[in-house]
Structures are given as C-alpha cells and as structure tokens.
C-alpha cells in the first residue's frame, strides 16, 4: 500500500534537519521500507570508533551485482552512517549492494586522513565481495564509489588520485564508476578558517579532484542542484569539463530548483512528492556501467 503524508511533513523531512539531526533522519528511515534486502551493521574495516561500515545486500544478489561504497557529507567534521538507510535502500531495492562507512573527521584528523579511511573501506568491501563474505555472492562485482558533499570529494579523490587505492592494493581501473552529489571538486581558495584548519596549506592542491584528471578516470555522473548555496554547482561543471577535455566520460546533471540537501534527499523512496529524476539517473548510470 502506498503511504500518503501531508505536504507539510514532506517539507519538514526534506529540510536540512534531515541530515543534521538524528530525530528527523530517524523518522525518514522509519518510513523507509525494510523489504528486499538484508543489513549488517558495524562491520569493522579499520581500527577506532569510526572504523566501521554498514552493508546492505539485496535479496538474491548474485556474483555480478554492482557494489557501491557511499560516503556521506558533513563538512569533513561530522556525519554518521546511521542516518543514511534511506539512501542505501533506494539503491538496494534496485539490486545494488551498498556499503556506507564511517570515517574519521576533524578535529581528530585533517586531510588526507579521511580519504585514506575511504580507500581502506573500498578495499575492504572489494575483498569481502570477491570472497563472498557478509551474505555477498563471491565474484568480481562491478565496484563504484559515490558520495554527497564532503563525501563526494572523498569519493572523487579515490576515483582520480590513484595513490589512495594503490596503497590498499587496488588498481585504479578496478572502479567501474563514480557518482557525485553536490560535491566540492574545485574549491580553492578556502574562505573559512575551519576549512583552513582541515586542509593544511601545503596539501590543499592535493585536496582538489580536478587537479588529478588525465582522461583515465572511471566514468562519472556528477549531479548538483541549481539552488545549492552550500557547494557552488560550478564545482560540478568544472570537474565534468576537465574530464571531457581530457577524453574521459563525465555527465554533469544540474537539477533546477534543487538545493544542497535535496541532492541526496532525492534518493529517498519514503518522502512523498519526491522527484525520482536523481534517483533514476543514479541507478541508470550504475546499471549502464556494470
């Protein structure tokens, strides 16, 4: 039976509180269907309190089911995998395996530690999928990285700066694709002191995914909202233009009227009146490159 909710509730749940407050996120996740997939939580991939991930495995997922490692946003200083069941379910219901890791954030660490954590998580998931651990069918699953906001920067660096995955024993060519939602990819100079602390001056150029493009990157789907006032959509356009200028594949999708939070809340199947365009584009991209 299709759930119907008042428009006011829909607006409240899609507001910034959705991803910034546990209560609203809990409501959205409570409304999200639990059918059609299994979840294993707090799988350890690295030491420490933020070295765990949650894994969502669709019922009947075979040896060639695509696997997405999704990195949430939070300005590199906050966030939790526990808030993103709604995003995982949107993909798992379409036969896509989803891993959502926590990763260390500022002030515990500075750049590039959170990207290094991301590489460890991807390598762990790839090995688990190959060996058939955690209800996964063993095989060579197509492997994707995906992220929203700060998480999109992390995923983008994993897709463009080959050093991170190589250190974890993965060849850069192992990635089948990258999906970025409202990501900062070309965001220098830094204008806020908090970000100057997170990104040490000597390493700032290395924090920009746009600086590593040589045309050999995996295919990219880069989505941003035209109403985003948190991360300028020019980041999406800049990265897409750089990739295509080098002969690579990148599609930039600027969605009219969508803001920063809307780029990820659009994945939810539980929010009424949600435009499925972003969700459908992500699934189609993953299916096309699997």
User: What digits encode the pLDDT tens for the residues 103-122?
Assistant: 999 999 999 999 999 999 99
CA distance 96 to 110: 32
CA distance 80 to 71: 10
List all residues 6 or more positions away from 26 whose beta carbon is below 8 Å from its beta carbon. none
DSSP 236-272: HHHHHHHHHHTT--EEEEEETT--TTHHHHTT-SSST
Distances (CA, A) of 202 to 11, 66, 114, 117, 192: 42, 37, 17, 20, 17
Task: Name the burial class of residue 44, with classes exposed (0-12), middle (13-18) and buried (19+) by CB atoms within 10 angstroms of its CB.
Answer: exposed
The predicted pLDDT at position 30 comes to: 87
| Phi and psi angles of residue 144, each rounded to the nearest 5 degrees, phi first | -125, 150
CA distance 59 to 222: 29
Joined tokens for residue 15: 């507001």
CB atoms within 10 A of CB 11: 12
Within the chain, which residues score under 50 in pLDDT? 1-21
CA distance 109 to 135: 33
Q: What percent of the chain has pLDDT over 90?
A: 85
The predicted pLDDT at position 34 comes to: 92
**Global confidence as pTM:** 0.92
Q: Which residue segments constitute the domains of the chain, with CATH numbers given?
A: 37-288 (3.40.50.1820)
The predicted pLDDT at position 271 comes to: 83
User: What digits encode the pLDDT tens for the residues 119-147?
Assistant: 999 999 999 999 999 989 898 899 999 99
CA distance 234 to 225: 10
The predicted pLDDT at position 28 comes to: 83
CA distance 283 to 290: 11
């Amino acid at each position: 039976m299709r759930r119907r909710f008042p428009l006011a509730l829909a607006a409240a749940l899609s507001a910034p509180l959705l991803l910034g407050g546990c209560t609203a996120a809990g409501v959205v996740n409570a409304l999200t269907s639990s059918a059609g997939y299994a979840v294993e939580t707090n799988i350890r991939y690295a030491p420490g309190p933020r070295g765990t991930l949650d894994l969502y495995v669709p019922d009947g997922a075979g040896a060639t089911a695509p696997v997405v490692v999704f990195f949430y946003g939070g300005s590199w200083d906050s966030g939790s995998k526990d808030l993103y069941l709604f995003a995982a379910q949107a993909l798992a219901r379409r036969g896509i395996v989803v891993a959502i890791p926590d990763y260390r954030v500022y002030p515990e660490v500075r750049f590039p530690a959170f990207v290094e954590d991301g590489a460890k998580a991807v390598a762990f998931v790839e090995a688990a999928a190959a060996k058939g651990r955690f209800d996964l069918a063993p095989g060579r699953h197509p492997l994707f990285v995906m992220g929203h906001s700060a998480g999109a920067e992390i995923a983008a660096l994993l897709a463009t700066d080959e050093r991170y995955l190589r250190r974890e024993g993965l060849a850069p060519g192992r990635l089948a694709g990258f999906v970025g939602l409202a990501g900062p990819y070309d965001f220098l100079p830094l204008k806020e002191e908090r970000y100057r602390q997170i990104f040490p001056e000597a390493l700032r150029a290395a924090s920009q995914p746009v600086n590593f493009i040589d045309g050999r990157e995996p295919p990219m789907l880069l989505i941003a909202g035209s109403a985003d006032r948190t991360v300028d959509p020019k980041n999406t356009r800049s990265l897409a233009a750089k990739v295509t200028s080098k002969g690579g594949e990148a599609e930039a999708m600027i969605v009219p009227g969508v803001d920063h939070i809307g780029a990820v809340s659009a994945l939810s199947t539980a929010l009424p009146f949600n435009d499925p365009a972003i969700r459908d584009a992500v699934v189609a991209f993953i299916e096309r490159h699997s």
